[in-house]
Amino acid sequence: MNRWLHTAASLCLGVLCLLPISARAQDFPDHPVRLVVPFPPGGTTDILARMLSNTLGTEWKQPVVVENKPGASGTIFSEQLARTPADGYTLMVTATHHVINPALYKNLRYDSKKDFTPVAQVAAVPNVLVVNPDFAARNHIGSVADLIAYAKANPGKVNFGSAGTGGANHLSGELFKTMTGVSMIHIPYKGAAPALNDLLGGQIPIMFDSVPGVLQHIKAGKLRALAVTSLTRSPALPDVPTLDEAGVKGFEATAWFGLYAPGRMDPKLLAKLSKDIQTALRSPAIQEQFAQQGAVPGAMTQPEYARFVDAEMDKWAKVINDAHITIQ
């Protein structure tokens, strides 16, 4: 009898232990969610995260609070996220840096493939080659061909800024150098926003940045757009040619942004989170807001996105190793 009672009690405890997981997934979220951007405010990642947070907050009927935690191309907060409970209440929206960093930083204190759960691709965005208008006017630069001619006539005297070593805008610049044969100096910043501030102020003359990050400044005449880095023109900048059209044949470099949770997330909670984010990305509000920024909302399923992330890590590791790119 005692043995039967002990067995029954053990079974009941086992069932009770399972209940909170299902309940947590079904009831998620029941309090505010943190959506952390590991870059300064004002960059493309921040812009897209805030748009997504507004829609998710309405869908979940809970505040989705965007926090900026910049540092070391996103690796500082990534380390924190890797050690955060996988309960869905702390999430990260980041850029291509996350799949590039493992090849750049040899002593990361986290495992990029095991310590994170890829949840959803948020958006894909082309970069745009922009120039400070005063620099362009002084040096008669009105096109990509003019910039190439100037850079070849002044080797090593043209600086280009980026959000940090190894990011999509940095690698766009490196690809431009390789394909055109120009010599330019890379100036890495701690995020796209401070680099953009120096570009606007004339401290650096050119930059490859995502369309959402510079669109308002292009429209205001504070920056001049020379070309976009995708093979097709951006709907947000229909009059701006592609680099391929501008003479750099075959040039293509597109940035993408993704949402991650800590690793080892409960599958039911992951399924709920992924479904809700896909619903948000398909909403008319997000479709319209992203289109205005030249961004295409992500449409991958969670398993597709997880495979995509792994493939991107392998791809960029080869590019970085072949190009001998290192952290300065």
Q: What domains appear along the chain, each with residue ranges and CATH number?
A: 30-124+255-323 (3.40.190.150), 126-254 (3.40.190.10)
pLDDT above 90: residue 26: no
For residues 37 and 90, give the distance between their C-alpha atoms in angstroms, rounded to a whole number: 11
pLDDT at 44 (0 to 100): 87
Interval 47-87: pLDDT, tens = 999 999 999 999 999 999 999 999 888 999 999 999 999 99
| Average pLDDT of span 100-124 | 94
Do 93 and 275 touch, CB atoms closer than 8 A?
no
DSSP assignment of 121-174 equals: EEEEEEEEEEE-HHHHHHTT--SHHHHHHHHHHSTT-EEEEESSTTSHHHHHHH
User: Residue 229: which residues within 8 A CB-CB, separation 6 or more?
Assistant: 126, 127, 128, 129, 172, 208, 242, 243, 251, 252, 253, 254
User: What mean pLDDT value characterizes the chain?
Assistant: 90
pLDDT tens digits along 267-302: 999 999 999 999 999 999 999 999 988 899 999 999
pLDDT of 237 above 50? yes
Crossing angle of helices 192-201 and 44-60, in 10° steps, is 130
